[in-house]
Structure 1
Amino acid sequence: MYICICKKVTDGQIRKAVQEQEITNMRGLRVKLGACDQCGKCAVEAKQLMRQCLHEKAASDHNPRRAA
């Protein structure tokens, strides 16, 4: 699903960026993906998704069995 329509950034791209490129803040999303730097209407949803991914990543880092 598209999160940032202006820059054609999907939820999958954001998830991958958080997991693989270790994006931890909105500035990182803007720099790496270009998300949320044009009209800004997607910023709230992008931030929520990023936080959810960070929470999931932290949970899997603390419980290696769960990540498998």
Structure 2
Amino acid sequence: MIVCVCRRISDREIARHARAGMGFDDIQFELGVATQCGQCEGCARDVVAQCAGQCPSANISLASSLEEGRTWNTSAL
């Protein structure tokens, strides 16, 4: 369903970005949703909130050192 008529942005596109870990402000910046007439903001926020409740996000931690973060054997180079 089209949520933002001005920018022609669908609920699926908003949900895809929300599943990728983006919040409403990030999605608004990226897609331009709710930046013209503003009539879609409530619906767009609802889509983001519903997806955030259903879609788990990845728990990614950074390596504490360069050696810990290596994913291949560089000693053969």
Aligned counterparts, 1:22-33, within 5 A: 22-24=21-23, 26-33=24-31
How far did 1:3 drift? 0.3
Q: Partner of 1:14 in structure 2? A: 14
Where in structure 2 are there 5+ consecutive unaligned residues? 59-77
Q: Partner of 1:45 in structure 2? A: 43
CA distance in 2, matches of 1:50, 1:37: 16
Q: List structure 1 runs of 4+ shifted beyond 4 angstroms.
A: none
CA distance in 2, matches of 1:34, 1:46: 11
Q: TM-score, normalised by structure 1?
A: 0.76
Provide the identity percentage: 26
Q: Which has the higher contact order (CA 8 A, sep 6+)?
A: 1
CA distance in 1, matches of 2:19, 2:25: 16
Q: Partner of 1:55 in structure 2? A: 53
Larger radius of gyration: 2
Tell me which protein shows more helix as a share of its residues: 1
CA distance in 2, matches of 1:29, 1:40: 14
Q: Across the two proteins, how many residue pairs are aligned to each other?
A: 58
Q: TM-score, normalised by structure 2?
A: 0.68
How far did 1:29 drift? 1.6
The alignment yields a C-alpha RMSD, in angstroms, of: 1.6
